Chains A and B, each alone.
Chain A
Amino acid sequence: MEPLSHAFKERSVWALQDETLQVALNRAKDGFAVKRAKAVGALPEFESLRDRAVDIKNHTLENLDHYLERYADAVERSGGKVHWASSAEDARRIVVEICQASGARMITKGKSMVGEEVGVNGALEEAGFEVVETDLGEYIIQLAHEPPSHIIVPAVHKTRGQIADLFHQNHQKYGLTRKLAEVPEMVNEARQVLRDKYLAADVGITGANFLIAESGTSVIVTNEGNGDLTCSLPKVHIVTAGIEKVVPTAEDASTLLRLLGRSATGQDMTTYTTFTTGPKRSGDTDGPEEYHVVLIDNGRTTMLGDQFREMLRCIRCGACMNHCPVYGAIGGHAYGWVYPGPMGSVLTPLAVGLKEAGNLPNACTLNGHCAEVCPVRIPLPDLLRTLRHREYQLRLGLKPMRWGLAAWVWFTTHPRIYRMGTRVQARMLALLAGRKGRFRRMPLAGSWFRGGRDLPAPQGETFMAVWQRRQRGKG
């Protein structure tokens, strides 16, 4: 997908002014945080499990070549085939080739973030295949021709009225002409439409939440059961997975599963956790005849070797964005690529470059809430700071900002001048504000005052002056 992250500021303004989006975002904001807190509070072992999860991920990353080889060999032993993709382009080509070789026409897909990342759908459609997303949220945004705005709930930005319109426009061709209003009937109509797609599909493509090295197993987690229908009904099953998804054993995956559901949706266990190993066995009466896994690097090995290795622990639960005030205000589309929120603000610049996405790491209040809730303890604010530093070193930021920062550095490293300057400035502002003690308007700060806000003027002495006086008083 072509990134639009360079337009982050404009897109944020649109998002803030989009009343429908604001309604949808407000609904989502507290729901997730409350559910997570409740589920986490009910499991005394949660913090120890987080430590364990960090150890599991770190150990696997330190020995990633070994575990990937073990995994690939086990897949081949079970009758599956493993494909290695260094780039997004490789991944797209491999998936298209598998579909062509199988003589497929119709392809169903379970939600796969790495699939979005490398642009699988576009490549398949260009090659002439009909591609149907089966996760209800993904299906909705596919009808709307939009990217996901959340990694767990892709259509969280849509209201039921908008979804009813989409179904009304797109389901006429199936003879479903009634305009719907209630959630249950909409879910039922999508179920009915997609059921026929599952049964007609030639290839099913899913992602993977984990890959188990020991047994060559891929694990997917869904609530709807769409992933299961996608991977068990068509005659070919393709798994697309980032190379960081591998863990040594099923026990390791189980530890991570205890964190994933609780962090993502506040569920102790997601409804369907499905472990697939190879194609159907002799004697099996259902299941796919071919099983392919596409292991995707696409920049991950670079992250493994630099200060962003910790980002590879990410299990894509979405807790960071659910607790981010910036995401909560603007939603996922403003970020302009596949991954939004704090994790997206780290991943996007690494994937598409700081020149394109330099605004994202700066759109952060550094309140640290994302790191507090991250199940695998990724120090997201630190990584965002590192990206800001890198941006500064590459001289990519806006010039006025660079000058401003340079001036700030000079003042703060000359404390006498700094103190004198702030003292004079505070007095001047207090005088200018007059008796009201506040400003209605100020040059160069027009936008701050929009929406009827006043700026309070400084009162009395500066902090340093008060501090020094108190210290003297003590002595």
Chain B
Amino acid sequence: MSGGREQVLAAIRRSLGRGALGADARAALDARRGATDSEPLLPKLPKGTSAQVFRDGLEKVSGTMSELTALDEVPGAVAGYLAGHGLALEAAVAPSLETLDWAGAGITPSVGPTRGGDFAGVSHAWRGVAESGSLVLLSGPDNPTSLNFLPDHHLVVLRAQDLVPHLEQAWAALREQGEEGWPRTVNVITGPSRTADIELTIQLGAHGPRSLHVLLVD
């Protein structure tokens, strides 16, 4: 396919009226902070703590949240959520959360990815974005992507210290992890799945989760 590559690149250069850029020009482009070579333009956030602004954004898109004071409280909170929704005390759980005391809360966890048989999935977010109430989840052996999409109920553990004002701070943190920083999938999730494809009527739970619940751990 290298013929295709050269053909397209040559057509671009013809249209730009120049040859290939020299090494210096390319190095200068690589040294820029993005296309505009200036600090990202970040919208000013409403007044309030990060947790408050995040909660407002999440609730605006029909997400829900409970605030916990320690990670140990997660299994109990999950059990409460499941019971409150009339669900059996079962959940597909991300390996990163395996060590929590699920049995103590009466939950039978299935650890690892799901193929769709689970009503609830529990995974952990790498960052939370206050601006939009979004969760940033990284794929990996300890946090399989299928948990984010196949279960009807998606529960996400987020540490308060991982809240950032804007998505841009998450990218900066990812870049610090170096070349290996980008996992296969970064999911930025803002509320439960929805569609408006039939008569523009909004309906939750199109293909992904019907509800999204965040467990914010201080």
Interface positions of A (Cβ within 8 A of B): 24, 27-28, 31, 43-45, 48-49, 52, 55-57, 59-60, 62-70, 72, 77-78, 82-86, 90, 94, 134-137, 140, 153-156, 158-160, 163, 183-184, 186-188, 191, 194-195, 198-199, 215-217, 223-226, 228-229, 232-233, 243, 247-252, 254-255, 257-258, 265, 267-281, 283-287, 295, 297, 301-302, 304-306
B residues sitting closer than 8 Å to A (CB atoms) are: 1, 4-5, 7-9, 11-17, 20-21, 25-26, 29-30, 32-36, 40-41, 43-44, 57, 60-61, 112-113, 115-116, 131-132, 134, 139-141, 144-146, 148-150, 166-168, 171, 174, 179, 181-201, 203, 205-209
A270 to B148, CA, bound (A): 16
Check B113 against A224 for contact (C-beta < 8 Å).
no
Min CB distance A260 to B, Å, is 13
Contacting pair A297 B186 (CB below 8 A): no
17 more CB-based (< 8 A) A-B contacts, given A56-B34, A274-B188, A304-B16 = A82-B1, A82-B5, A86-B8, A153-B200, A187-B205, A224-B208, A225-B207, A228-B208, A232-B146, A233-B146, A248-B35, A269-B61, A274-B186, A274-B187, A275-B188, A277-B182, A284-B140
Q: Judging by beta carbons under 8 Å apart, are A271 and B113 in contact?
A: no
For residue B197, give the distance in angstroms from its CB to the closest CB of chain A: 4
Chain B residues with CB below 8 A from A44, complex form: 43-44
Complex: A250 Cα to B129 Cα, angstroms? 15
- Is there contact, CB below 8 Å, between B9 and A249? no
Q: Report A392 CB to chain B, min CB distance, Å.
A: 25
Given A229-B149, A243-B8, A251-B34: A301 touches B15 (CB 8 Å cut-off)? yes
Across the interface, do A286 and B195 meet the contact criterion of CB distance under 8 Å?
no
Q: A27-B199, A232-B185, A281-B183 are in contact. Are A258 and B43 (CB under 8 A)?
A: yes
Rounded to whole angstroms, the CA-CA distance of A52 and B182 in the bound complex is: 25
Q: Are the CB atoms of B187 and A228 closer together than 8 Å?
A: yes
Indicate the member of B9, B32, B34, B181 with the most A CB atoms within 10 Å: B34
Q: Report yes or no: B184 in contact with A280, Cβ–Cβ below 8 A.
A: yes
**Smallest distance from the beta carbon of B24 to chain A beta carbons, Å?**
12
Tell me the nearest residue of chain B to A276, going by C-beta: B185
Please give me the residue from chain A that is nearest to B198 by CB atom. Answer: A183
Among residues of A, the one whose C-beta sits closest to the C-beta of B186 is A275
A48 to B41, CA, bound (A): 8
A65-B12, A163-B198 known; A254 and B40 CB under 8 Å? yes
* Of A56, A72, A163, A268, the contact of B5 (CB 8 Å cutoff): A72
When C-beta atoms are compared, the residue in chain B nearest to A48 turns out to be: B41
Interface contact A65-B171, CB-CB below 8 Å: no
CB distance from A356 to the nearest CB of B (A): 23
Interfacial chain B residues near A283, Cβ < 8 Å: 140-141
CA–CA, A156 and B199, complex, Å: 7
Closest 4 CB pairs of A and B: A225-B208, A305-B15, A84-B4, A224-B206
The reply to whether A271 and B16 contact each other, CB–CB distance below 8 Å, is no
The docked-state distance in angstroms from the alpha carbon of A84 to that of B189 is: 31
Nearest Cβ on chain A to B165's Cβ, whole angstroms: 12
Q: Is B206 in contact with A56, judged by CB distance below 8 angstroms?
A: no
Q: How far is the CB of B42 from chain A (nearest CB, A)?
A: 8
For residue A270, which residues in chain B have a CB less than 8 angstroms away from its CB?
Answer: 190
B201 with A84: CB separation less than 8 A: no
Which residues in B have their C-beta under 8 angstroms from that of A279?
184
Asked if residues A269 and B134 are in contact (CB atoms below 8 Å), the reply is yes
Given contacts A86-B7, A232-B149, A283-B141, contact A305 B194 (CB under 8 A): no
Known contacts A229-B149, A249-B171; decide if A224 and B115 are in contact (CB<8 Å): no
Q: Of A24, A159, A183, A280, which one neighbours B203 at CB under 8 angstroms?
A: A183
Closest to B147 in A: A286
- In the complex, the answer to whether A65 meets B16 with C-beta atoms within 8 Å is yes
Q: Identify the interface centre among B16, B150, B185, B190: most chain A CB within 10 Å of its CB.
A: B185
Which one of B35, B141, B197 lies within 8 Å of A252 (CB-CB)? Answer: B35
Give the residue of B12, B57, B185, B189 whose beta carbon is less than 8 angstroms from that of A301: B12
Tell me, rounded to whole Å, the shortest Cβ–Cβ distance linking B191 to chain A. Answer: 5
> Considering only CB atoms, which chain B residue lies closest to A60 in the complex?
B35
Q: With A and B bound together, what is the CA distance between A135 and B139 in angstroms? A: 23
Minimal beta-carbon separation of A325 from chain B (angstroms): 19
Taking CB atoms, residues of chain B closer than 8 Å to A154 are 197
